[in-house]
Copies of this chain bind each other. A is one copy, B any other.
């Protein structure tokens, strides 16, 4: 599978899971994973999912505008850079966001998220 396809498949899986069942994201992170959410740093799968599930909206829908990916070095990692829109339930306008993921291979041939940085793009 080529890296661009892996990146697109990851992105689709990530945001579909986020929008349907945020707690389901827990197995994409590990203890060494770090999320920076609007400047706040959170470490470890459990704390990251606690942050994501405590965001002040119940329902949301991500739509993706661009996905870029690059190999991140000899360890077999992959950088995925996403831009898109985030529609919150009950809000008239979608919010624009940018997010990057650093995916690292697992022993089972899959990937987990080592680094995750999220920013809203204010107009």
- Taking Cβ atoms with an 8 Å cutoff, the residues of A that contact B are 34, 36, 39, 41, 66, 68, 70-75, 77, 79, 81, 83, 96, 98, 100, 102, 104, 114-115, 117, 119, 121, 123
Contacts and interface: CB of A to CB of B under 8 A. Distances in A.
Given A96-B121, A98-B121, A123-B123, A34 B70 contact: yes
A83 to B, nearest CB: 6
B68 A117 contact: yes
At the interface, is chain A mostly helix, strand, loop or mixed?
Answer: strand
B83 A119 contact: yes
Which 8 interchain pairs have the tightest Cβ spacing? A98-B98, A81-B117, A121-B121, A36-B68, A70-B115, A68-B117, A100-B100, A34-B70
